[in-house]
A and B are shown apart, each in its own frame.
Chain A
């Protein structure tokens, strides 16, 4: 028998890694083009150019870092760069950042992500963590203070964090109305992290990637679906209704992360049951981090945490995928139920509506005042 030893991802079909990465790059470029156009139209040319500069600078930084690395390692530079796909990392990193992030912060984070997130592990295929998520964690933990205050409006996740991620249906409607209603949120006509706004475009990318067999449909569908179902149950139990579930899916990076980051072939489990368990776990952690931590959104850290669990999930799911399917499905169900149950318990029993200054005037004055009062408070919360 002939055995081939190659780092992940390995594919049985004819689909090559380069082909998949080309499709992924096309999708990311589509999202990037949308971001550039949106900021051009909404805030004038200077803002649009800023987004463009951010994108170009991070891609250039990624390519230069890899070129220097392969030069220092005495490998073929061109070959190395083409098989390392650093630009994908750079694009994702920029698109999940806020437009407020400075070019310097993004470039340094890209360099650190490429170098310590990917290359020191042995390059593409050997890394433990999603390099883009690694880089964004650096941006969030290290450069929060150096962000420019270009747009004073808060992202939906930050705005709703002001209420502690749970509120009456009226207050939630107020937050949603701030962004032009759920319909406009679906089309992406609001400020948030650059690439994660347009749900329609991201879902189109998802369909494109699935049809081209670039990604398995299970991961994104189970990820987004679990976020929806868990927050639906919590929303119904806490009296916030179905729009609570829709808001949880549309706001923040759930769609973008689900389509572009949980599907990373290197850092997610190999088997299909493993992928489903990974997706449900990430969804539960996303919601738990949203509800209970200081961070406004949990997509990033939930994916990083599940990346750490990937080897364990792979071990849980090893064996013949056909012969052992009963055991694998049972493992998957037990694991997924545990994750989902914890998220549900946290959601139903443990989150408290925040008694912030934002909620106070809304109570004392008229309920409608909440809409106008909220943004002011959010600015201080965002900082």
Chain B
């Protein structure tokens, strides 16, 4: 299984093990922070940092943590990391910190982070945990970026990215003419619609790919069985020939 997993391409890993659209974890923040791509990317970066560090720390303390208190221990680790990230953001990116608001602190209870600590980091080594944390964080960032991208274009008509450190606009592109934006996509209703459509597309992709893989597997098995049958027939023929030769002799 693990051999097979390693063979998967990077994109497949991001789609198949996507925490948002594959496992449906961390949806709350995903709906709330995706009004613009600036917010989405900021949130994604914060989650990557917290996820990598928490996975590393959890994999370090897991061997000697008593089983009865492992969840409080993990939560304390995650909460400390989130507080550090939040304070750094407040100091250096105040506008982004204001835009994300409570959702920075709510990373503590984001299911992805505790989920990966429980399911992966507590059972694996430091390097593997760090890699898992980074991949999961990257998949989360990609998901929120996709949602933010669609919602910002449809909802406001403008695609703009800000540098959160200096608060200057890096680029701003009007993609829909003035008055042709659809404001419902800036509201939570629009977030649910975009989320549902993206989740459906990801599931569709997975299903078609799985069906193809299953068909390929079936074909391979059929070919194998045919080969086996042919081999058996050949062996039979050989045996018969041998017998015939022995009889003759």
Contacts and interface: CB of A to CB of B under 8 A. Distances in A.
Interface of A: 104, 108, 112, 116, 120, 138, 141-143, 145-146
Q: Which size bracket describes the interface of B in this complex?
A: under 10
Contacts of B60: none
A65 to B, nearest CB: 14
Interface in B175-195: 179-180, 182-184, 187, 189, 193
A142 B180 contact: no
A104 B184 contact: no
A320 B188 CA distance: 42
Contacts of B179: 104, 146
A143 B179 CA distance: 10
Contacts of A145: 183
Contacts of B196: 120
Nearest to A145: B183
A167 to B, nearest CB: 34
Nearest to A139: B184
18 contacts: A104-B179, A104-B180, A108-B182, A112-B184, A112-B193, A116-B193, A120-B196, A138-B184, A141-B184, A141-B187, A141-B189, A142-B182, A142-B183, A142-B184, A142-B187, A143-B183, A145-B183, A146-B179
Main secondary structure of the interface of B (DSSP, over half): helix
A360 B129 CA distance: 70
Nearest to A111: B182
Interface string B158-189: 00000000000000000000011011100101
Which of B179, B180, B184 is packed against the most chain A CB atoms within 10 Å?
Answer: B184
Interface of B: 179-180, 182-184, 187, 189, 193, 196
Given A141-B187, A142-B182, A146-B179, 14 more contacts: A104-B179, A104-B180, A112-B184, A112-B193, A116-B193, A120-B196, A138-B184, A141-B184, A141-B189, A142-B183, A142-B184, A142-B187, A143-B183, A145-B183
A145 B193 CA distance: 22
A142 B179 CA distance: 12
A112 B184 CA distance: 10
A138 B190 CA distance: 10
A213 B244 CA distance: 88
Nearest to B189: A141
Nearest to B192: A116
A104 B183 CA distance: 13
Contacts of B189: 141
Contacts of A120: 196
Which of A104, A112, A142, A143 is packed against the most chain B CB atoms within 10 Å?
Answer: A142
A146 B179 CA distance: 7
Nearest to B181: A146
Contacts of B182: 108, 142
A33 B193 CA distance: 35
Which 8 A/B pairs are nearest by Cβ-Cβ distance? A142-B184, A142-B183, A108-B182, A138-B184, A146-B179, A116-B193, A104-B180, A142-B182
A126 B131 CA distance: 45
Contacts of B187: 141-142
A138 B183 CA distance: 9
A120 to B, nearest CB: 8
A219 B193 CA distance: 32
A112 B192 CA distance: 13
Contacts of A141: 184, 187, 189
Contacts of B184: 112, 138, 141-142
A308 to B, nearest CB: 15
A143 B184 CA distance: 8
Which of B182, B183, B193 is packed against the most chain A CB atoms within 10 Å?
Answer: B182
B87 to A, nearest CB: 38
A236 to B, nearest CB: 40
B113 to A, nearest CB: 32
A200 to B, nearest CB: 36
A304 B183 CA distance: 21
Nearest to A138: B184
B201 to A, nearest CB: 12
B25 to A, nearest CB: 23
Contacts of A143: 183
Contacts of B193: 112, 116
Contacts of A108: 182
Nearest to B186: A142
A116 B190 CA distance: 11
Nearest to B184: A142
A143 B193 CA distance: 17
Contacts of A112: 184, 193
A71 to B, nearest CB: 16
A346 to B, nearest CB: 27
B147 to A, nearest CB: 16
A194 to B, nearest CB: 22
A88 B184 CA distance: 23
Nearest to A141: B184
A102 to B, nearest CB: 8
